[in-house]
Amino acid sequence: MALRPSIAVVLLGAMASLGASYRTPNFIVEAPDAAFAEQIGKYAEHYRRQKAIEWLGQEMPAWGRPCPLRVSISGSSGGATEFGFDNGSILSINMHIEGSADRLLASVLPHEVTHTVLAYYFRTPVPRWADEGSAVLSEDDRERNVHEQTVWQILQMPGRAIPLRRLFSLRDYPRDPSYVMALYAQGYSVTNFLVGQSNRQVFLAFVAQGMQNNGNNWDAALRTHYHYRSIEELEGAWVQYLRNGRQQPAQLASNRGVSDRRDAGPTARVVLRQTAPPAQPILEAPQPVYRGQIPDESAPSASPRPGYYQVPPPPSVRLEAPEFERVPPATPQWGSR
């Protein structure tokens, strides 16, 4: 009998730790409190609609089952979304994001939602460089600026950059954490460079064609959708673009739509894909932490409605179990060309 009060206290504490739930047409949000769960749910639906229009030119239909979206407040931001693919179908989506309120709303959430847009378009795991590059492109200026600084730093460091032909061939994150950083930074920079020469729909069509022939069709895809004859020619132009101060590239892409997306080749078996790197890399400053994970400042003060936070307006711009691949230890110093 004497144990009953202790058990009751434990049960009450466990129930309190569960937080609150808020359901939207496409998400079931679990967050620390009801007001923030509602805010996350509304932002998730906003980004789902906005990113689909930006990348696909139209909204996505409602998902057959809402995506569980678990939210944790912490001082280090991050996120992961897991997909189950089966022969061109998406069987499941599960999302987890964490960080301070402002980083979740302005950076981490749009990053993870963009992964769902690409999953809907391709219906199969996307090459990591394009998947992460597109997702970073959906984040706010603060995070994108960090990646822009980091890519130039990586290109200047001997052996740290991944040649684009190798980068394009990677199906998953490199085993070496230092190359994970390069994958994110270079993936974002190349994606931004190509989208700047065309638009998001042309870029997706390019990736879909490049994924053909077991991921060995990139040269043909470049000739079809851009003016480059090979990955090496693209690489030279991209590095020169960075040297020139990241000026807006000329409009050189063809005006192609998104009709060839299925040619990427749907998976013929159930595949799990998670958008989370194996480890956080270590590099001298600046140090971006991936998927919107940059050092957080204190959360802004709450707005008049309890549980809601003041954040900048939503930005207008901007899947098989993990299978790590090894990057050759010796890579050229691209910044010294």
**Domain residue ranges of the chain, discontinuous segments joined by +:** 15-305+324-336
Q: Which amino acid is at 180?
A: V
Beta-carbon contacts of residue 260 (< 8 Å; ≥ 6 apart):
205, 208, 209
Say whether pTM exceeds 0.75: no
Tens digits of residue pLDDT in 260-300: 444 454 444 444 545 655 433 333 333 333 333 333 333 33
pLDDT at 318: 29
Lowest mean pLDDT among 81-90, 136-145, 168-177, 319-328: 319-328
Tens digits of residue pLDDT in 172-184: 888 888 799 899 9
**Residue whose pair of structure tokens reads 């906005």 in the numeric block:** 50
Omega into 286 within 30° of 0, i.e. cis? Answer: yes
H-run or E-run covering 17: helix 4-17
Q: Are 258 and 273 in contact (CB under 8 A)?
A: no
Beta-carbon contacts of residue 93 (< 8 Å; ≥ 6 apart):
63, 67, 81, 82, 83, 84, 116, 119
Task: Give the pair of three-digit tokens for residue 228.
Answer: 């480059």
